Amino acid sequence: MNNAQKDKAFIWHPFTQTEGLKILPVIKHGKGALLYDENGKEYIDAISSWWVNIHGHANPYIAKKIALQAKKLEQVIFAGFTHQPAIELAERLVQKLPEGFSKIFFSDNGSTSVEVGIKMAIQYWHNLEKPKTKIIALTNAYHGDTFGAMAVGERGLFNRPFESLFFDVEFIDPTKPDEAKLKFEALAATNQIAAFIYEPLIQGSGGMIFYESQLLNELISISNCHSIICIADEVMTGFYRTGKFLASNHLQLSPDIVCLSKGLTGGFLPMGITTCKGFIFDAFTSTDKFKTFFHGHSYTANPLSCSAALASLDIIEKPNFDMLIKGIEQQHLKFLYLLKKLPQIENPRVLGTILAFEVKNEQNSSYFNNIRDLLYNKFIENGILLRPLGNTVYIMPPYIITKKQLKKVYNIILEVLSSL
């Protein structure tokens, strides 16, 4: 076949209806909180490019560190070998994690960090020869797009074609604390539950749903009494998104497994980390080869991703870093005050660097609500990248966003709301 007969390449984008697809902006470069398309149009990235980019686009320090690492070692198999960036990253992360977390397992992204967490929990019980496989998760949860991660997520339109293939999961609704606690207690009492997985305090893709820390403390406490392994999916909430290093740091009780990704590399390169407490690791420490954790990805602990994560930690550990987080939160809180007076919206809320609210409308609040496209397009026209989840509008900016840029985001939101 010669070249003339070949089809034109078509890129199949995620979460994008292919019928009637518009021409997408071609992003040529980024700087700080800004993205620039090929026509020179500027966009404020108010969602940190799917919640990953915490230190700004093309951050020169992180870029330099990756380039230096690329000249030394770009990749090496991580089974049977190790390398300095992974060792240093593990050591430095452990300093920041809650007490008891010292075991670090690398993978490639948020979904795989969750898969690893679920597999660790289930194999833990298998290795102890007390097999249990049932999991408790939260309604409206989102944990990723691989099969295990989908199975513990909300059973909705996104994963309907696959639903018959999912394993057994019990769901409780964190927005109905009394009911949730009762159901959780009853399930825990069956002694059949291997693990409880949750997005701590805020359910991201489910619609930036906030729920009470008291409920989560109680559920973790019940789990501890019944030896249920608690898996905190901190893929979105980690790395100061909610004001503290982990959202779990807002709680009195800590989980047994934590899943990390997104902000981990400052938004430069894909990487996932699943960290667990010693008692879980101990169940895999055996002369019996069948107790090994047989899970590994080609790019596990890629040295370039590790160097990006190390550079990101360097920035996080700078003395004034927490002022950035507090500054965004304070600015959000002032805007919240204003939002509370608007009749077109409801339930405005802030946690750390996240601000969210719902736009009132006749349709239900699902992701497929038409108002979502209308809002998205209006924001884009005005040079703001905001990606509403149905009628839920949220801001989750890079931490280096300037006061002026954030003010512009607020102003455009107000303009768009008043035009509805």
Among 48, 127, 205, 302, the residue binding ligand PLP under the rule CB under 6 A is: 205
- Site membership for ligand PLP, residue 268 (CB under 6 A): no
Contact of 384 with 409, CB cutoff 8 Å:
yes
DSSP H stretches of helix in 128-260: 147-151, 177-189, 213-225
Whichever of 144 and 243 has its CB closer to ligand PLP, that residue is 144
Query: Which of 143, 277, 332, 372 is the binder for ligand PLP (CB under 6 A)?
Result: 143
Please report whether residue 390 would count as binding ligand PLP according to CB under 6 A: no
Using the minimum distance from each CB to ligand PLP, give the nearer residue, 48 or 307.
Answer: 48
CA distances from 311 to 211, 324, 326, 353, 394 (A): 33, 17, 21, 21, 28
Nearer to ligand PLP, 33 or 197 (CB): 197
CB-based contacts of 303, cutoff 8 Å, min separation 6 = 69, 72, 73, 74, 75, 76, 83, 85, 86
Q: Could you tell me which stretch among 70-78, 123-131, 139-147, 296-304 binds ligand PLP (CB under 6 A)?
A: 139-147
Strand locations in 157-298, DSSP E? 169-172, 193-198, 202-203, 209-210, 229-233, 257-260, 272-277
Closest CA to 265 of 295, 242, 235, 224: 235
Smallest separation (angstroms) from ligand PLP to the CB of 189: 28
Nearest residue to ligand PLP by CB is 110
Please name the residues in contact with 97: beta carbons below 8 A apart, sequence gap of 6 or more: 246, 258, 275
Q: How far apart are CA 332 and CA 344, in angstroms?
A: 18
Smallest distance from ligand PLP to CB 112, Å? 7
Q: How far is the CB of 114 from ligand PLP (least distance, A)?
A: 5
- Tell me 57's DSSP state: B
Residue 416 structure tokens: 């768009």
**Closer of 199 and 256 to ligand PLP (Cβ):** 199
From 32, 85, 200, 204, residue interacting with ligand PLP (rule: CB under 6 A)? 204
Task: Please state the closest distance from residue 268 (CB atom) to ligand PLP, in A.
Answer: 13
Interacting residues with ligand PLP between 181 and 200 (CB under 6 A): 199
Q: Does 32 contact ligand PLP by CB under 6 A?
A: no
Cβ count near 376 (within 10 Å) = 16
What residues numbered 221-250 form the site for ligand PLP, per CB under 6 A?
233, 235-236
Query: What are the residues binding ligand PLP (CB under 6 A)?
Result: 109-111, 114, 142-144, 199, 204-205, 233, 235-236, 261
